[in-house]
Structure 1
């Protein structure tokens, strides 16, 4: 009897059975993300129909029917011609450098290489020597960049800022604005939360003033009105005035983003820093600000992306950034055509999107890396 009973008892563990096909793989992903409910199913179908309606003609215009080569507008005015990429190809160097002298453009290229050489090691956590990279990027590189781009020393011919333009000028304004608005915003946020009445009042007045006026007004005032208040014979470079205006304007918005992070830190963190004997600046540098800045990474990046896109407003004061230099080339009679303007705008939009999306992706990476919260 015992032999009969034991013959039905498994002596070894059965091999694990594969999961149902509806629970793993592409089918499970589709059911979970696109067809999980009647509403999601309807939205998925509507989105698919919209994509099928928009994408084919868009691809035809941008790729299949596009004109890729040509010497002038004649190549782009053929019947049913798509985007005139030949126009972008012919004007590409001007889009990148503006009116910077052709024989001196190697200086712009070298500046870009130095910027990448400083930023990439600083942005990758695994790369060592962070302190040295930070010193080079924040202290040495700005001096080298000014010497290379402006010249006037070491035998380099002077290139006036009125000749700067294109993507180069866009990056100059954006990088200077980003590099100055973040530390100024942190100081203003600390000042607004200060217990000293004078410091708090000055910070509040500064923030509310700059947030209360549009950037286009700030640029106009910096370019046109500021020289009226300066002594006779004293004048600032137009680009320098724009950089100051953009930096002060963006720092006010950055201050409110940082202040939100400071207010999110529990009071116990401040008390713990005081309990171990840290002074105000030590507690802010070692305890409070690292946590606050980690919390507001999305807000900081959102402000920086807005600043990068707002650089196109410098056209109002006669500076030709990427978008302005693209628009100015529409008047070239050699390339005047029905598809030239839309092609130029698509090119400019693509460049802006690449930089903005890159900043967004890096911020998401940093959020995941710095996420030390306890999840259930």
Structure 2
């Protein structure tokens, strides 16, 4: 059908198209672009690798928008946690994606402008959730109604129940009509935040913070790097406890993190515990809240005994102190 030269040109063009797609739309391509940017001292166009798989849409809430600007007062009830998570997820949406929620509040006779106000938002979100409870007693269905509207949520709920399934957020999302992608993401983020607000603390509450979350001059590398957790100043051998029930996803040792545990709490929430002297649980094991999981230590890249505690939402590290009560006392001396 094609001459040999034409076929050769077609094969070349197809190969070039495949290389272009791999360069711009795969994790491997992102690594190549970042390496090239570093080598030539230019700005990389690569998105974070996990952004390819974290479920965020162009107008959905970003992870940074889900972190409270001030620490949340505690103790916080489960209903309060859900309300605060709903407020933060809504605030992180683009204005167009906020429309169904604001329209729903107006429909129910609630002040829609209060939902986006930092002082009134969590309280307004709780009132909205309470107003929907009679029609949507299931928490997942209620959140679907908040972000997608009552009619789409009712339709999705009826479809799921007709099929004999439980109304989980995943099943409800599949029954929503096209165009509600942001609502699905926001509802998932609200549930994730409900989990985060309920987390405990891995060591005694009085433990001092040796190094907070954020950019710092790395104590051993001497370069400015993001510190993706908080360093808790505890003596070697201190009991480390799980902050919530979950499944152990990693229990290993490496040169940087030392003996490290990663626990998956569901809903896209994970916690990590690094530099331990001994690990007491194994991969795949289910642990309970408050269960002894390790003894702290000084393993890996560390300048002194401490526990590096890390919290992640959708695989992105966030400051765990933003979900705790009040400021904590900084430890004196060098940061571990």
Is this a same-fold pair by TM over 0.5? no
Q: Which has the higher helix share?
A: 1
Q: TM-score, normalised by structure 1?
A: 0.24
Q: TM-score, normalised by structure 2?
A: 0.26
Task: For CA contacts below 8 A with separation 6 or more, give which structure has more relative contact order.
Answer: 1
